[in-house]
Amino acid sequence: MKAQSMTGFSKVELEDEVYSLNVEVKSVNHRFKDIRFKMGNVFNAHEINFRKKLESIFKRGSFDIYIGYNKNQNQALKLDLDYTKINSFLEDFTSETKATITVNPSDFLRGDFYKEDEQKEENLTKLASEALEKALISLKENREEEGA
């Protein structure tokens, strides 16, 4: 087994037709294995698989893993808002509260008002898994170079 430094960093960026995804992994010395994720809710159901991927490569260390994504530039201007949901919300709110409300369009940029996209999670998870694997391999190589 090659000598490894416990300290390392790697970053991988991948994109598909719709999303740009960024994975960063930082490791420092730790007696045991400590893994912390910072990622969007879309990936929460896959954290165990991501963790197993890391555990298959590294025996110990403290790891900070960041997984972020954005829509590609050509997709960024497309707001896939569900106007039926927005109108229904406004009608329900005003009829139940009898209040007059002023609406700022940016109030509806929360995820609750976007159209359901069944492919989003699948596509992003596939992209994240591939990027994480590449980042972990790069981190391992980085730690081996540092250890030599």
The identity of residue 63, as a single letter, is F
Separation CA 10–CA 83 (nearest Å): 41
* Stronger pLDDT, 49 or 1, i.e. the higher one: 49
Kindly report the average pLDDT of the chain as a whole number.
Answer: 86
Which pLDDT tens digit goes with each residue over 49-87?
999 999 999 988 999 999 999 888 766 556 677 888 888
Q: According to the model, what pLDDT value does residue 141 have?
A: 93
Q: Where in the chain is the domain with CATH 3.30.230?
A: 8-75+118-147
User: 0.75 cut: is pTM over it?
Assistant: no
What is the pLDDT confidence band of residue 111, given thresholds at 50, 70 and 90? low
8-75+118-147 maps to which CATH number? 3.30.230
